[in-house]
């Protein structure tokens, strides 16, 4: 990621000898590098600008700690600010409240929604919960089949949705299935489209109204950079997202979506997909991601 920003900064500071105060002139070069690296990583322009301003404010005039070189000091500030840009703290799933807990997965086709629904079922089962997978993408029978296959693989029950049925009715009926099977969590795999459209949003709104999910998770593809941020904004405006699951993070060489989504939308990234296998889902730790980005 980021072509090793740390090395770039270290290079910039090589000329700087000894210790003292970090001055505007000292750090101007380094901050230019930071801003370029962020823009190259496809970070939202305004986010990059505000970020650099924030680092400058913190860095200028700061006494350089005896144990650190000026470059190390700036890197430390950059790392802390990167982490806080992504929310600072890890945000867990909301699994409180009266069961069954409803987790609604939304997102565009191909983002990894169905796979993530399966991964999430596995994660919840590992926490001692009894999830029920609910295929609510009735336009695509293949999506229903895909979820049934995942359920069979995981030993997790899958609600028997009928292709062509009304997704809202299916989700309501799934509540009955959950209580019959003793399931305490429903994972709704809703319909995706290639682009955001009005009928899709209206359908998702109706499911939200009826089921009152404790989590509405947008599944977004990290590889799509700023597009993922725009998608998150559009979904959040209509549905009020509670979190984002960023997928394909292991192949994302740039990190633009990871860095921008929280700052642009205010919605935390809660989980990251790091591979195609069902165990490749991890909690999102802003500080670790900041470390990974800095190399
Ligand atoms: P959906 O249309 O949003 O339901 O997308 P799918 O769940 O069918 O996933 C689309 C493709 O993305 C599949 O080939 C998945 O294996 C792949 N995929 C999903 N999540 C990840 C991930 O975290 N990493 C990688 N490398 N591939 C993923």
| Higher pLDDT, residue 114 or 26 | 114
pLDDT score at 14: 67
Is the Cβ–Cβ distance between 235 and 244 less than 8 Å?
no
108 labelled binding-site residue: yes
pLDDT-derived band at 20 (thresholds 50, 70, 90) equals: low
23: CA distance to ligand 1 center in Å?
47
pLDDT score at 2: 47
pLDDT score at 209: 97
What number does the ligand 1 atom closest to the CA of 275 have? Answer: 24
Q: How many CA atoms lie within 13 A of 12 on its CB side?
A: 22
> Is there an atom of ligand 1 within 6 Å of 224 CB?
no
pLDDT-derived band at 1 (thresholds 50, 70, 90) equals: very low
Mean pLDDT of 78-105: 94
pLDDT at 107 over 50: yes
241: CA distance to ligand 1 center in Å?
20
pLDDT at 262 over 80: yes
Distance CA 108, CA 111 (A): 6
Mean pLDDT of 87-105: 94
> Is there an atom of ligand 1 within 6 Å of 24 CB?
no
Helical axes 198-211 vs 167-181, angle rounded to 10°? 30
> Is there an atom of ligand 1 within 6 Å of 118 CB?
no
Q: In what order do the strands lie in the sheet with 281-283?
A: 131-136, 185-190, 101-106, 215-221, 243-247, 269-273, 281-283
247: CA distance to ligand 1 center in Å?
7
> Is there an atom of ligand 1 within 6 Å of 119 CB?
no
Lowest-confidence region among 51-55, 119-123, 240-244: 51-55
Distance CA 26, CA 281 (A): 41
130: CA distance to ligand 1 center in Å?
23
Q: What is the mean pLDDT of the chain?
A: 90
Lowest-confidence region among 8-17, 184-193, 260-269: 8-17
Q: Is the pTM of this model over 0.95?
A: no
Q: Which one of 113, 115, 284 would you pick to mutate in the ligand 1 pocket, going by the greatest count of ligand atoms within 8 A of its CB? A: 115
Task: Quickly tell me which residue has 């295929």 as its tokens.
Answer: 135
Distance CA 292, CA 295 (A): 5
Distance CA 182, CA 249 (A): 34
Which structure tokens are listed for 228?
Answer: 């993922």
Phi, psi of 192 (to 5 degrees): -120, 160
73: CA distance to ligand 1 center in Å?
39
Lowest-confidence region among 97-101, 151-155, 244-248: 97-101
Given CA atoms 157, 91, 218, 287 in this order, what sign does their dihedral have?
negative
Percent of the chain with pLDDT over 70: 93
110: CA distance to ligand 1 center in Å?
6
Helical axes 256-265 vs 70-85, angle rounded to 10°? 60
Q: Which one of 108, 222, 276, 284 would you pick to mutate in the ligand 1 pocket, going by the greatest count of ligand atoms within 8 A of its CB? A: 276
Kind of pairing, strands 269-273 and 281-283?
Answer: antiparallel
Mean pLDDT of 52-69: 82
Is the Cβ–Cβ distance between 231 and 122 less than 8 Å?
no
Task: Quickly tell me which residue has 């405006």 as its tokens.
Answer: 237
pLDDT at 72 over 50: yes
pLDDT at 164 over 90: no
Residue nearest (by alpha carbon) to ligand 1 atom 26 = 275
Q: Per DSSP, what are the bridge partners of residue 244?
A: 218, 269
| Residue from 280, 244, 273, 252 nearest 86 by CA | 244
Q: pLDDT tens digits for 194-237? A: 998 999 999 999 999 999 999 999 999 999 999 999 999 999 99
The ipTM, to two decimals, is: 0.99
User: What's the Rg (C-alpha) of the chain?
Assistant: 22
Give, as one character, the DSSP assignment of residue 43.
-
């Amino acid at each position: 990621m980021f072509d090793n920003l740390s090395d770039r900064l270290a290079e910039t500071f090589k000329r700087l000898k000894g210790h003292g105060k970090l001055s505007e002139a000292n750090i101007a070069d380094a901050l230019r590098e930071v801003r370029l690296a962020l823009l190259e990583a496809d970070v939202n322009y305004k986010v990059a600008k505000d970020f650099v301003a924030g680092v400058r404010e913190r860095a200028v005039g700061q006494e350089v700690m005896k144990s650190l070189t000026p470059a190390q000091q700036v890197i430390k500030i950059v790392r802390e600010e990167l982490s806080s840009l992504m929310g600072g703290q890890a945000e867990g799933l909301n699994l409180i409240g009266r069961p069954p807990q409803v987790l609604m997965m939304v997102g565009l086709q191909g983002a990894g929604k169905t796979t993530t629904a399966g991964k999430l079922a596995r994660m919840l089962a590992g926490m001692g919960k009894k999830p029920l997978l609910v295929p609510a993408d009735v336009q695509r029978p293949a999506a229903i089949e895909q979820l049934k296959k995942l359920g069979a693989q995981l030993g997790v029950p899958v609600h028997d949705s009928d292709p062509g049925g009304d997704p809202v009715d299916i989700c309501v009926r799934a509540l009955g299935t959950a209580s019959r099977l003793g399931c305490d969590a429903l994972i709704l795999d809703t319909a995706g489209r290639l682009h955001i459209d009005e009928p899709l949003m209206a359908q998702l709104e109706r499911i939200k109204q009826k089921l009152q999910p404790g989590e509405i998770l947008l599944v977004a593809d990290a590889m799509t950079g700023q597009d993922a941020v725009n998608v998150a904004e559009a979904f959040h405006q209509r549905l009020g997202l509670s979190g984002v699951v960023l997928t394909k993070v292991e192949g994302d060489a740039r990190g633009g979506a990871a860095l921008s989504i929280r700052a642009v939308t205010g919605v935390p990234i809660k989980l990251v997909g790091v591979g195609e296998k069902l165990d490749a889902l991890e909690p999102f730790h802003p500080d670790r991601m900041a470390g990974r980005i800095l190399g």
